[in-house]
Amino acid sequence: MPILSPPLRWALAWGSAVAVGWACNAGAFACSDDGDCGGTTDAGVCEASGWCSFPDGECASGRRYGSHAGGALAGACVDEVGSSSGSGGLSTSTSETSAATTLSTTLDGGATSSSSSGAAVDSSSDGSTGTSDLCPDDWWDCGWVQRIALDAAFAGATDDLLDVPVLVRLTPERADLSSAQPGGADLRVVTKDGTLVPHEIERFADGELLLWVRWPSLAVPEPSLVLYWNNGEATDAADPPAVWSNGYLGVWHLADGTDSLATHPLAADGTAPGQGRVGDGTVFDNDDRLAANESLSTIFTGPVTLEAWILADGSDADAMRLLDNGRHVPTEEGWGFGLDGSPGVLELELGRSFGRDRWVSSQTAEPGSWHFVAARYDGKAVAFHYDGMTESGELASTGAGRLALDLPDRMLTLGGSSDTAQASYQGALDEVRISSVARSDAWLELQYLSITDALLIYGAPESLPPLSLTPAAR
């Protein structure tokens, strides 16, 4: 086929249109002069945009683009789309868009021009650029080239499931994230109406992404979010404290001692990194500890929920503290949450002026595998949660007098007692959290499902179609 010379015909074609749920008009034809638009002075006019327009008294300009104009211009009044004046060559509207999608135009003879400033196309002879009006309506921002839909399926949804931290786990089998920035700076999570959702990256390596998001509501029918990536110019928007803003006092993923709320970092004393339930965790042996920078002994003056993922090694001990903020020698003050015996029952202890209140579960934490455990205190009673199930705690012993909780010299400690070498936990810990809220059964069950990868439904990855302008036959 001979190379076409001006007047040059162009057809606008988008690949993979079905993948994003829309398609441009087929059979689009561009122009380079009025003769390409009908051949008479009172018929078509070749606008500066490179598309033909025709007389129409309903438009302020008196002219309307024809049905074969490209993309959003088809059928629009000339003055509505902001086209510049002049004839011949291609031009686009001047609406603003965000950075990063590169759109290329193949010119006569094979030359190519492109722009990476938003969805801009550099196609005029003076090198000026504008933005494309061809971004799909349901695409959050065409600076981001790829996306995947995230839907939550939770039969036990209740009205309190608002702003819930949920784990997004993407593997190479679910989505190819190789086009994302190496550190994930271009990751964005939005609702379907385009509202940004806070996120925290726990791990992004070897094609796997562990991403925590603050899900706005799991009580609405078919709640869904969309994850976008592939924007080389985006800056990091992760905001861990915002993810955990709903009643959390401390959140430790335990790849190290970092608190996602940036308030209670942990200092290691003999612990070692190891494989966790989500990414990396921490392994405890003998008298190993993780100690916080301050006391949280007084939190039980109100409602509290303690959560952890545990992999106990089966050591036989009278008490193994998972979390502790107490004084055990010579008196029993403060509080502690852990296991008693092997396999251990869950127990929660609160010190009083004389003795202590102690609640225990009927469920035992079998060693050798990961389990989700939690203790919920509403100010009076205690409930325990174990792998998606909740039970009322049995008050096994009671103390006398007021609660003895004000221990500013005792620091919050993970993996053992805060003041003695006794009560050491043997095994691995991961995803430890403390809340100043008595979390509902549904909330705790949802956390279990989220981390066991039984909550979310992942859609098929989608890509923004690349813009391609190629010669078309008359």
Asked whether residue 55 is assigned to any structural domain, the reply reads yes
Domain count, the chain: 3
The phi, psi pair for 242, rounded to 5°, reads: -70, -30
For residue 463, give every residue at least 6 positions away whose Cβ sits within 8 Å of its Cβ, in sequence order, or none.
16, 19, 20, 145, 146
The span from the first CA to the last CA of the chain, in angstroms, equals: 13
For 397, the 3-state DSSP assignment is strand
Asked whether residue 470 is assigned to any structural domain, the reply reads no
What's residue 28's pLDDT?
59
| Continuous H helices in 407-455 | 441-451
Which of 43-47, 223-227, 245-249, 263-267 is predicted with the least confidence, judged by mean pLDDT?
43-47
CATH number of the domain encompassing residue 295: 2.60.120.200
Using 50, 70 and 90 to split pLDDT, how confident is the model at 422? confident
What's residue 343's pLDDT?
78
One-character DSSP codes across 304-351: EEEEEEEEE-----S-EEEEEEEE-SSS-EEEEEEEETTTEEEEEEEE
Asked whether residue 5 is assigned to any structural domain, the reply reads no
What average pLDDT does the segment 16-43 reach?
56
User: Per residue in 254-294, pLDDT tens?
Assistant: 999 999 999 999 999 989 999 999 999 999 988 889 999 99
Question: In this structure, are residues 404 and 366 in contact, taking their beta carbons and an 8 Å threshold?
Answer: no
What's residue 324's pLDDT?
95
CA 129/CA 127 separation, integer angstroms: 7
What's residue 31's pLDDT?
83
Shared domain for 288 and 430, answered yes or no, is yes
Which of 25-34, 63-72, 146-155, 193-202 is predicted with the least confidence, judged by mean pLDDT?
25-34
User: Per residue in 44-71, pLDDT tens?
Assistant: 888 887 888 889 988 888 889 888 887 6
Domain boundary among 78, 100, 135: 135
CA 35/CA 460 separation, integer angstroms: 46
Residue 229 CA to its chain's centroid (Å): 11
What average pLDDT does the segment 422-435 reach?
93
Residue 302 has pLDDT above 80, yes or no: yes
Domain boundary among 82, 105, 135: 135
What average pLDDT does the segment 318-339 reach?
90
Residue 237 CA to its chain's centroid (Å): 11
Residue 439 has pLDDT above 80, yes or no: yes
Question: In this structure, are residues 334 and 327 in contact, taking their beta carbons and an 8 Å threshold?
Answer: yes
- Give the range of the structural domain holding residue 221, as residue numbers without chain letter: 146-243+457-463
Q: What is the mean pLDDT of the chain?
A: 81
What's residue 125's pLDDT?
30
Asked whether residue 366 is assigned to any structural domain, the reply reads yes
For residue 46, give every residue at least 6 positions away whose Cβ sits within 8 Å of its Cβ, in sequence order, or none.
31, 32, 33, 34, 36, 37, 52, 87, 88
Asked whether residue 452 is assigned to any structural domain, the reply reads no
Residue 411 has pLDDT above 90, yes or no: yes
Shared domain for 213 and 254, answered yes or no, is no
Asked whether residue 473 is assigned to any structural domain, the reply reads no
Shared domain for 412 and 370, answered yes or no, is yes
Shared domain for 236 and 252, answered yes or no, is no
Asked whether residue 380 is assigned to any structural domain, the reply reads yes
The phi, psi pair for 250, rounded to 5°, reads: -160, 140
For 20, the 3-state DSSP assignment is helix
Shared domain for 195 and 84, answered yes or no, is no
For residue 132, give every residue at least 6 positions away whose Cβ sits within 8 Å of its Cβ, in sequence order, or none.
71, 92, 97, 103, 119, 120, 121, 142, 467
C-alpha angle 410/276/246, rounded to 5°?
60
Residue 346 has pLDDT above 80, yes or no: yes
Per the confidence metrics, is the pTM higher than 0.75?
no
**Residue 397 or residue 159, greater confidence:** 397
CA 5/CA 19 separation, integer angstroms: 34
Shared domain for 401 and 339, answered yes or no, is yes
Residue 9 has pLDDT above 60, yes or no: no
Domain boundary among 114, 135, 156: 135
For 179, the 3-state DSSP assignment is coil
Amino acid at 223: P
Asked whether residue 164 is assigned to any structural domain, the reply reads yes
Handedness of CA 421, 423, 429, 432 (dihedral sign): negative
Shared domain for 76 and 183, answered yes or no, is no
What's residue 71's pLDDT?
62
What's residue 111's pLDDT?
32
Dihedral Cα 120, 122, 127, 130, nearest 10 deg: -30
Residue 331 has pLDDT above 90, yes or no: no
For residue 372, give every residue at least 6 positions away whose Cβ sits within 8 Å of its Cβ, in sequence order, or none.
307, 308, 309, 385, 386, 387, 388, 447, 448, 451
Shared domain for 239 and 253, answered yes or no, is no
Which residue in 147, 164, 332 sits closest to 226, CA to CA?
147
Which of 133-137, 191-195, 371-375, 377-381 is predicted with the least confidence, judged by mean pLDDT?
133-137
What's residue 341's pLDDT?
79
What average pLDDT does the segment 388-395 reach?
96
Using 50, 70 and 90 to split pLDDT, how confident is the model at 466? low
User: Per residue in 159-188, pLDDT tens?
Assistant: 889 999 999 999 999 999 999 999 999 999
Question: In this structure, are residues 60 and 77 in contact, taking their beta carbons and an 8 Å threshold?
Answer: yes
Question: Looking up tokens 């000339």, which residue turns up?
Answer: 78
User: Per residue in 92-148, pLDDT tens?
Assistant: 333 333 333 333 322 223 333 333 333 333 333 333 333 345 788 899 999 999 999
Question: In this structure, are residues 51 and 31 in contact, taking their beta carbons and an 8 Å threshold?
Answer: yes
Shared domain for 32 and 48, answered yes or no, is yes
Using 50, 70 and 90 to split pLDDT, how confident is the model at 25? very low
Using 50, 70 and 90 to split pLDDT, how confident is the model at 366? confident
CA 131/CA 98 separation, integer angstroms: 10
Question: In this structure, are residues 27 and 17 in contact, taking their beta carbons and an 8 Å threshold?
Answer: no
Shared domain for 28 and 73, answered yes or no, is yes
Shared domain for 170 and 263, answered yes or no, is no
Shared domain for 15 and 158, answered yes or no, is no
199-205 and 266-269 beta bridge pairing? unpaired
Using 50, 70 and 90 to split pLDDT, how confident is the model at 6? very low
